[in-house]
Structure formats: structure tokens, C-alpha cells
Structure 1
Amino acid sequence: MLSWLEAGVVGALQGVAELFPVSSLGHSVLVPAVVGGSWARDLNVSTPESPYLAFIVGLHVATAIALIVYFWRDWVRIVGGLVTSIVRREVRTSDQRLAWLLVLATIPVGLVGLLLEHWFRTTLAKPTPTACFLMANGVILLVSERMRRGDTDLDSEYVDERVSGPESDKRLAELDVKSAVGIGATQILALAPGISRSGIATVGGLVRGLSREDAARFSFLLATPVILAAGALKLGDLAGPLGDGIRPQVLFGSVLSGVGAYLSVRFLTRYLANRSLRPFGYYCLLAGAAALVWLNVR
């Protein structure tokens, strides 16, 4: 049902694509469809009670763990801020405020995901719609960069200094609630395969005036509880019949996914500090168009 090669390729791809603004779910749908044969049969995420979906869930948990490991200092401060805020019934420090902003910003996608995840997956997670959504993701990235053309020089002033976590978190804590929730709500679009969660949240931050680094950082912090919760809710599937015969492959793919996610976030937090999203936008347009042509003419 799931070969070691399939597990390795999809696991490594998931870890990288989840954080790059190119949609991991989109690639998880398109790659098997483009390869065809047993890949298209075994790796079909839209099938009800799909073992492949259980496999993807395991990969998501590994990705979330990698994000927690990379941002562990930030999460210690943020969780500590949330706890002290609840105990003392106050919101005074930047850590306390950022913690509540993340909680509030996660609510919209959490509610929609619980209610409509099955519909999104079974209705939209098919190769042709996914290729179209991937192209739409590219357009969103390119349009956002065109809108910010005049701000490029401003971001370049912060190449080295703004990679500091605590300083970035202090700036993020200054967001107003409406902006934070608005950025978090953009993740709802990423329920459609082909739309990148990190990409759409980063664009949401840029539109609201955040620097490239701060927008990317906020998107990664937002992604952690969402990815972890989505994985945890379905992790039990791997202990049941859906996990039979694929648990070793799930473990193998999860290790590759976690390593890929860690390396990706380490690279992207520096890359996006002063570089454009355009390369990712062009890639999504070309990859989506190529997949669409291939799927309809072969």
C-alpha cells in the first residue's frame, strides 16, 4: 500500500514544501498523479478513509515538532507569557500579548478546518483543481510582491539585525488584534490543496505592513499549533486499521519530513529577511501549468 520509495520521496517533499510557500498538500496530490501507476493508486489523499491521509498526518506531526525545536526559545517565552497572563489575569508584557495574538489568530482556521476539512479534501484534493490552485498561489505571491515593490529598500536595511528572535517577537506583539486575526484567517485558503499555508500567511503579514522577516516569522509561529493540532486529531488513525502495514514507512517518512522542515525553516528565516517571493511565485505558476497540461494530454 505504501512503498519505502514512496514514503521517502513524499516525506522529504512534505518537510520542505510545508514551509516553503509552494503548498505541501498540493505537491502531495500532484506528484503521485503525475508519476501515475501505483503511485496514483496508493497515494490518493481524496479517497475516504485513505491510508495515504494517515501517512500525511504523521508527516505533519513531524513538521510541527521540527518547528517547535527550531523556535523552542520563542515557544518557552510565549507559553510562559500565556500561563502568567492567565494566572495573573493581565496582558502587559510582549510575550503575553504575542501569546494571545497567536491564540486568537488560530481560531478562524481551526474552526473552519474542523467543520470543512473533509469537504475540502474529498472535493478539491484532486489533481486538476490542485494544479489550478497551485497556479493561483503563484499569482498571489507575485501580486503581493508587485504591491510591495516600493518597500524593498526598507527591508534590506535589516538583513542581519532583524534575524533576532526576541526583537522580532516584540515587534509582532505590537500588532493589533484585528490584523493578527486577519493574518491567521488567511490560512483558511490553505485548506484548498495548492494554496500554501506559510505563503498566504506571509502575504497577509506583508499586506498589513510587516517586514519580510516578521511576516515570515509570524506565519511559522502560526503554522505550528495548526499543523500540530491537525496531526494530533488524526494521529489515532495510525494506531487503527489505516496504519496497518505502513507504520514503518510512516516513521521513515516522518524522520525525513522533520529533518527537511528544520532545514527549510532555518534557511527561510534568513532568506525571507530581505529577498523576494517572486521565485516561488514563478515556480508555482510553471509547476501548476505543467502538471495541468501533463494530466490532460498524456
Structure 2
Amino acid sequence: MPILLLVIILGIVEGITEYLPVSSTGHLILATELLGFDADKWALFNIAIQPGAILAILVLYWRTFRDVLIGLWHREPSAFAFVRNLLVAFIPAVVIGLAIGDYIELLLGNAVVVAVSLILGGVAILFIEWWAKPTDSGGVANVTLRHSIGIGLVQCLAMIPGVSRSGATILGAMAMGVDRKTAAEFSFFLAVPTLTGATALQLYKHGGTMESGMGGWILIGSLVSFVVAVVVVKAFVSIIQRYGFAPFAWYRIIAGAVALIWLAMC
């Protein structure tokens, strides 16, 4: 398969899965293996194209970020609460990521871990959808400090490939009583510092080992993921408000089971 086609496919996978509760990292690992490439060699690429997905959130929610910046200038409590909630939710990922980041990297090429995590995550989604009784939180700024810390801790589960960062944060927030729309938007906004930090760290640690020409492939992959993510995020919020997360749970279970069967046959 031509490298350009692989780059486009991985960009599409990243754009579709980054904000859905299905694990973008897991799907990128499985897609790389399925297409016959070494997942370890493409691990850096899969992380480095995340800025495209980050940009999608900045573009789609530019009015929200603008209002927060203006609110900070005018010292509005809601703007400070918005920033505070994202910062306290971001800190656990920084601490735990720096502490056990090298061990987590060893799992990034393990397709079996991804498949099992997909199945277990799907079961967890079905349980939380049935058990949780969320109420209207009124937006990210109105999420309590305690819940923001809890969401940040839950997000750290996504360091295991296949768990899903968006799934962990959204379902974790719902389990604490946050409504679906606010939980989804909290996950979107939290992705900006989290994905930015993860990308910067990996490029700092492994950028020197990047193969010749990989920079151009990363740029193309990021562009593809941006375009796809813009479309997916706009549709995602309306889908979860109408149907909930059960469709994604069943998809995870089926995809994980198929992946395990495929891996066993290889």
C-alpha cells in the first residue's frame, strides 16, 4: 500500500474516533496492524496528527473560547470557573503521564490490549448509561470543582490503549451527575490541553528519531483529521442527545471481538 494512502486512512480514523467514545489510539493501532504496517514505527505519527483534531475544536467552538478570553479580561466569575475546571481536570494526566509514561508507551503497539479494552469499555458504557442519573449542569463553567477533579482522574484511564479518552471523561462525568451535552463539551475542551501536551511531549522525546519525510506525512494526516473531526463533532452531540451512548458501546464490543478473532487467526 502506498504510504500516502496509509496516511490519509490514519488521518480519517483519527478524525472520526478522537471525540467519539471508541478510542482513537486503539483504532489507529488496529488500523496500522490491519493494513500490514508496524504499529510501533507509526506510534509517533498517530500522536503527532492530533493537532488536526485539536484545531477542529478551536474552530467549532471559537465563540466559546472568545467569550472566555473576554470574560477573563473583564474578570467574570464564569470565565475563571471555566478555566479552573479544565486546569484541575488536566493536572492528573500531567502527573500520571510523566510518572508512568514510559510504561504506557510499551502498550501503544499491543493490539490485544486494545481489543480487550474496547470490549470492557463497551460494557462499562452500557452499565453507566443504565445506572447514571445525570441532571442539567448548565455548561462547563458550572461543573463543580470536585467533579472536575474526578473527571481529570478518570481521564487517566485513557492512557491504556483502547479505553478512549473521550469515553472515559464523558461517561465519568455522567456517572457524577453531569448531563450528556455538558459532559461531551467538557471532554472536547479538555482535549485541547491534554492532546497538545501529549503531542508536544512525544515529539520532544522521540522527534529526533523521526524518519525522513515523516514531517510532511504528519502535516497531511493532521489536515485530514481536522476536516473529518469538524464533521464528526457536529454530528456527535446531536446523536448522543437523541440516542445516548449505547450505539457506541455495542460498536466497541463488536469491534473488540472481531479484532480478537482476527488477531488469533494471524
TM-score normalised by L of structure 1: 0.82
Correspondence for 1:179: 147
* Superposition pairs of residues 261-280 of structure 1, within 5 angstroms: 261-280=229-248
Give the whole-Å Cα distance in 2 for the aligned partners of 1:109 and 1:55.
21
Pair 1:55–1:124, CA change in 2 (3 A)? closer
Judge which range, 109-118 or 136-145, deviates more. Answer: 109-118
Give the whole-Å Cα distance in 2 for the aligned partners of 1:180 and 1:13.
29
Correspondence for 2:126: 142
- Following superposition, the deviation at residue 33 of structure 1 comes to 2.2
Correspondence for 1:55: 45
Pair 1:278–1:104, CA change in 2 (3 A)? same
Correspondence for 1:107: 91
Q: Find out whether 1:78 has 2:62 as its counterpart.
A: no
Deviations 1:18-42 (A, max 9, x none): 1111000001111222333xx2x3x
Q: Find out whether 1:97 has 2:87 as its counterpart.
A: no
Q: Find out whether 1:131 has 2:121 as its counterpart.
A: no
Correspondence for 1:15: 15
Correspondence for 2:101: 117
Asked whether the 8 Å contact 1:23–1:196 carries over to 2, the reply is: yes
Give the whole-Å Cα distance in 2 for the aligned partners of 1:116 and 1:255.
30
For the pair shown, the structure with the greater C-alpha radius of gyration is: 1
| Structure 2 residues not aligned, in runs of 5+ | none
Give the whole-Å Cα distance in 1 for the aligned partners of 2:89 and 2:205.
28
Deviations 1:253-295 (A, max 9, x none): 1111111111111111222233210110001001001110111
Q: Find out whether 1:217 has 2:185 as its counterpart.
A: yes
Give the whole-Å Cα distance in 1 for the aligned partners of 2:34 and 2:121.
19
Deviations 1:27-63 (A, max 9, x none): 1111222333xx2x3xx23xxxx4x233123211111
- Following superposition, the deviation at residue 110 of structure 1 comes to 1.7
Code of the aligned partner of 1:193: P
Give the superposed CA RMSD.
Answer: 2.4
- Partner of 1:21, secondary structure, is coil
Correspondence for 1:165: none
Asked whether the 8 Å contact 2:29–2:108 carries over to 1, the reply is: no
Q: Percent identity?
A: 31
- Following superposition, the deviation at residue 233 of structure 1 comes to 2.8
TM-score normalised by L of structure 2: 0.91
- Partner of 2:258, secondary structure, is helix
Deviations 1:117-151 (A, max 9, x none): 22112136401111101111111111111114x77
- Following superposition, the deviation at residue 82 of structure 1 comes to 4.7
Correspondence for 1:161: none
Give the whole-Å Cα distance in 2 for the aligned partners of 1:72 and 1:56.
25
Give the whole-Å Cα distance in 1 for the aligned partners of 2:48 and 2:87.
24
Give the whole-Å Cα distance in 2 for the aligned partners of 1:147 and 1:202.
14
Give the whole-Å Cα distance in 1 for the aligned partners of 2:79 and 2:229.
25
Asked whether the 8 Å contact 2:43–2:108 carries over to 1, the reply is: no
- Following superposition, the deviation at residue 65 of structure 1 comes to 1.4
- Partner of 1:139, secondary structure, is helix
Give the whole-Å Cα distance in 2 for the aligned partners of 1:210 and 1:26.
26
Give the whole-Å Cα distance in 2 for the aligned partners of 1:196 and 1:173.
24
Correspondence for 1:32: 32
Pair 1:238–1:70, CA change in 2 (3 A)? farther
Pair 1:64–1:112, CA change in 2 (3 A)? same
Number of residue pairs aligned between Structure 1 and Structure 2? 266
Judge which range, 119-128 or 255-264, deviates more. Answer: 119-128
Give the whole-Å Cα distance in 1 for the aligned partners of 2:240 and 2:94.
26
Asked whether the 8 Å contact 1:144–1:207 carries over to 2, the reply is: yes
